[in-house]
A and B are shown apart, each in its own frame.
Chain A
Amino acid sequence: MHKLPHVITLNQENQLMKIFILYGTETGNSELFAEDVQAALKDQHEVTLVDMQNATLDMLSPENDLTIIIISTYGEGEYPTNAQAFVKIIQDKQPDLHGCRIAFFGLGDTFYTGHYNVCVKTLQKLLTGLGAEQIGPCGLHDASSGQMIDELMQPWLDAVFSDLKKQ
C-alpha cells in the first residue's frame, strides 16, 4: 500500500484551518499529488480540493488560511489545459491579492531545456506581483530526476507549515 505521511499539527491551539488546494493537470500526475496533499491535511484542517477548471477568484481570498497551488508545465512551457482559463481570469482582472497566503508546487521536466517548471514560476510571479504572500519555498519536481514525487511532499509541507506558523 502507498503510505500516507504523518498529518501535520498546525499549532498549539490546533485550529481548523481553511485550505484550498488548486491543481492544474495534464496527464493526471499533479491531480494525484494534489489528492495526496489533501489526504495528508484533511484530518487536521478543512481542505477543499479544486480542479483549476472550476476555480474562482474567491479561492485566493485572505479569508482563507492558505491556498496551495499545484501545477505542471507542458510542451513548450504551456499551462495545463484545465488551468488556462483561470490563469487568464487572473491576468485579465488583476485582482488585489494582499493578505492572501499561497504555497506553490510545480511538476516539470528538465529534459525540456528552457521550459523547466516555467508555469509554477510564472504563476508565482504573477500572484505575488498582485500582492499575495508566498508561504514556504516553491516545491519543484523534475520528472527526469527519477526521484519519486511522494518523497518531496512531507519536507515541502513541513517547510510551508513552519513558515505559516511564524505569522
Chain B
Amino acid sequence: MIENPQIAIIGSGPSGIYTAQFLLKKIPDCKIDILERLPTLYGLVQYGVAPDHQSAKAITRQFDRLFENKSVHFFGGVEVGNAIHLEELKKLYDIVIIASGLYGDRRLGIQGENLPGVLPSGRLTRWLNGYPNEELKPLLVGPHLVIIGNGNVAIDVARLMAKTDQDLINSTMDLTRHALLGGGKVKTIDIIGRGLPEGCKSDPLILRELANIPYVHLTVEGNLTPDNEDSFPQIVKNRLKVLREINNMGKPNAPCQISIRFQLKPIEIIGDNSVKAVIFHDQNKNIREISASAVVTAIGFCDAPDTVISRDRFRIKNEGELSYNLGENLYSVGWFRKGPTGTISENRVDAKEVVEIIFRDLEQSLKNKAKEKKGLASEELEKLLKARRVHWFDFEQKEEMSPNKSQNTLC
C-alpha cells in the first residue's frame, strides 16, 4: 500500500462527499482534495433537492463534518478541464475520482422544444435554489403549466409552482425568482407520463405531499386498478394505492387544479412566440391537445452541453454504466458512473463500493510497483492554480458563498 495516498475527487455533490467519507474510514492516512466547478459546496443537495425539503438538505450538516479533518481540502470554483486538465490531475495525484454527476437536462427531441416558455426541470430547480450561474430568463409560467415526466423532479416542480410564497417562508427558495415565474399563481398543472400508472416513478411520500397542499385539488387519470395488480412487486402496489388515495380528495373548488395523466406521448409543442399547447398521442395514437402557457420537461438528466468531462467519452458502446476504474489511476462514482438514476442513499452505496475497489487496487499497486515519492499534491495544485491566476474558494469561505445565506423568514 502506498503511504499517505493522495486523492483528488472531482465534484462535491453527495457522491463526492460520501466517497471522501468512506476513503477516510478505509484509508485513514490518505489526503483528499475535492475540486468543485462551482464556488459552492454539495452540488445536487444544494441545487437539486427542492428548497422546501429542508430536512433532506440538512444532510449538509453531516457533510460539513468531513472538512474538520485536516487531510481534506476544498477547491471551490476550480473546473477540471478548464482550470486544470484531467491528465495533469492524474499526474499530480495517486488516485483521481470523477464524481461530477450529471446536470444536463435530457431533451424531448420534438418540434417546438426551443420555444420561449419551455423550461428544462434541472435548470428550473437550480434557478429556484439560487444557483449562481443559471441564466433562466425571467418569464411568467402563466396559468396553465404542463409538466412532461412523472418522476420525483416533476412532482417537485408541480409542488414548487403550486405553493404560494407564504408556504415557502421556511424554505431556502429564492422567493424573488419564484415570484418572477409566477409561482403560487398557477391555475392548472398537468403532469404527464408516457407509461402506465404502475410505471409511475415518483415517491409515494411526495405524491401525498402534493395532494395535501390545502389549495390544490388533484385528480389522477388512468386505470389505477389493473387486472394484474396482484402480480406486481410491493413497491408498485404501494404506489398504485397512493395514486388511488390521492385522486379526488374532495377539494374540487381549490384554486390550483393538478391532473396526473398517463399514456400520453408528446409529439409537438406548438406556439408562435411562446408556448400555446402540447400535442400528444394517446395509447391508440389519437391526437390529444393540452393547452399550456408554459412547459417544464422533467425526463431525466445527461451530460450538460457545456460539460468539460463528458460521461459519453468514457462509455463503451451502449452500456449504461461506466466501470468504477476508467483505466490507470482514474475512477468514477455516482451518477457520472451509473447514469442519472438512484437516490442520494443509493449513491452512498456506490461510493462505498468505489472505495473498496480503490483500496484493493492500492494494495495491488504496492506489489507491482512502488510509485515514486511525490511532493504534496495539494501544494502542487495550489502552485499551478496561482500560476494560472485561478482564484479558488476554500471551505472556510462557504458561508459567504452560500446561495441563500439565511432562510426566508417572516419579518
Chain A residues in the interface with B (C-beta under 8 A): 1-2, 26-29, 32, 74-76, 81, 109, 111-112, 143-144, 148
Tell me if B176 counts as interface (CB < 8 A to partner A).
Answer: no
Q: Chain B 352-368, CB within 8 Å of chain A: the 1/0 string?
A: 00000000000000000
A112 pairs with B59, CB closer than 8 A = no
- Closest residue of chain A to B64 (Cβ to Cβ) is A2
Of the four ranges (under 10, 10 to 19, 20 to 34, 35 or more), the interface on chain B belongs to: 10 to 19
A2 pairs with B65, CB closer than 8 A = yes
Give the chain A neighbours of B62 by CB distance below 8 A. Answer: 27-29, 32
Give the chain B neighbours of A148 by CB distance below 8 A. Answer: 61
B345 pairs with A27, CB closer than 8 A = yes
- Closest residue of chain B to A30 (Cβ to Cβ) is B62
Give the chain B neighbours of A1 by CB distance below 8 A. Answer: 68
A111 pairs with B55, CB closer than 8 A = yes
Tell me if B58 counts as interface (CB < 8 A to partner A).
Answer: yes
Q: Specify which of B54, B61, B345, B349 lies most central, judged by the most chain A CB atoms within 10 Å of its CB.
A: B345
A109 to chain B, nearest CB (A): 5
Tell me if B283 counts as interface (CB < 8 A to partner A).
Answer: no
Tell me if B331 counts as interface (CB < 8 A to partner A).
Answer: no
A28 pairs with B348, CB closer than 8 A = yes
Give the chain B neighbours of A144 by CB distance below 8 A. Answer: 54-55
B61 pairs with A76, CB closer than 8 A = no
A27 pairs with B348, CB closer than 8 A = yes
Within B12-50, which residues are at the interface with A (CB < 8 Å)?
A: 18, 21
6 A-B residue pairings within 8 Å (CB atoms): A27-B62, A27-B345, A28-B21, A28-B59, A75-B203, A76-B238
B64 to chain A, nearest CB (A): 9
Give the docked Cα–Cα distance between A2 and B65 (Å): 8
Tell me if B344 counts as interface (CB < 8 A to partner A).
Answer: yes
Give the docked Cα–Cα distance between A143 and B65 (Å): 17
Tell me if B205 counts as interface (CB < 8 A to partner A).
Answer: yes
Give the docked Cα–Cα distance between A2 and B348 (Å): 23
Tell me if B204 counts as interface (CB < 8 A to partner A).
Answer: yes
A27 pairs with B59, CB closer than 8 A = yes
A26 pairs with B204, CB closer than 8 A = no
B345 pairs with A26, CB closer than 8 A = yes
Q: Specify which of B54, B55, B59, B203 lies most central, judged by the most chain A CB atoms within 10 Å of its CB.
A: B55
A76 pairs with B345, CB closer than 8 A = no
B205 pairs with A27, CB closer than 8 A = no
- Closest residue of chain B to A36 (Cβ to Cβ) is B65
Q: Chain B 175-218, CB within 8 Å of chain A: the 1/0 string?
A: 00000000000000000000000000001110000000000000
A75 pairs with B205, CB closer than 8 A = yes
Give the docked Cα–Cα distance between A111 and B56 (Å): 10
Give the docked Cα–Cα distance between A161 and B18 (Å): 33
Give the chain B neighbours of A109 by CB distance below 8 A. Answer: 55
- Closest residue of chain A to B66 (Cβ to Cβ) is A32
Give the docked Cα–Cα distance between A72 and B58 (Å): 14
Q: Specify which of B58, B59, B238 lies most central, judged by the most chain A CB atoms within 10 Å of its CB.
A: B58
Give the docked Cα–Cα distance between A81 and B399 (Å): 34
Give the docked Cα–Cα distance between A28 and B54 (Å): 17
Give the docked Cα–Cα distance between A95 and B344 (Å): 34
Give the chain B neighbours of A74 by CB distance below 8 A. Answer: 345
Given pairs A28-B59, A111-B55, 13 additional interface contacts (CB within 8 A): A1-B68, A2-B65, A2-B68, A27-B59, A28-B18, A29-B59, A32-B62, A74-B345, A76-B238, A81-B345, A81-B349, A143-B58, A144-B54
Give the docked Cα–Cα distance between A76 and B18 (Å): 24
A27 pairs with B344, CB closer than 8 A = yes
Give the chain A neighbours of B204 by CB distance below 8 A. Answer: 75-76
Give the chain A neighbours of B18 by CB distance below 8 A. Answer: 28
A105 to chain B, nearest CB (A): 16
- Closest residue of chain B to A144 (Cβ to Cβ) is B55
Give the docked Cα–Cα distance between A27 and B229 (Å): 31
Give the chain A neighbours of B61 by CB distance below 8 A. Answer: 148
Give the docked Cα–Cα distance between A35 and B204 (Å): 32
B349 to chain A, nearest CB (A): 8
B57 to chain A, nearest CB (A): 10
B227 to chain A, nearest CB (A): 25
Q: Specify which of A28, A75, A81, A109 lies most central, judged by the most chain B CB atoms within 10 Å of its CB.
A: A28
B203 to chain A, nearest CB (A): 7
Q: Specify which of A27, A75, A143, A144 lies most central, judged by the most chain B CB atoms within 10 Å of its CB.
A: A27
Give the docked Cα–Cα distance between A74 and B65 (Å): 22
B320 to chain A, nearest CB (A): 22
B46 to chain A, nearest CB (A): 15
Give the chain B neighbours of A26 by CB distance below 8 A. Answer: 345, 348
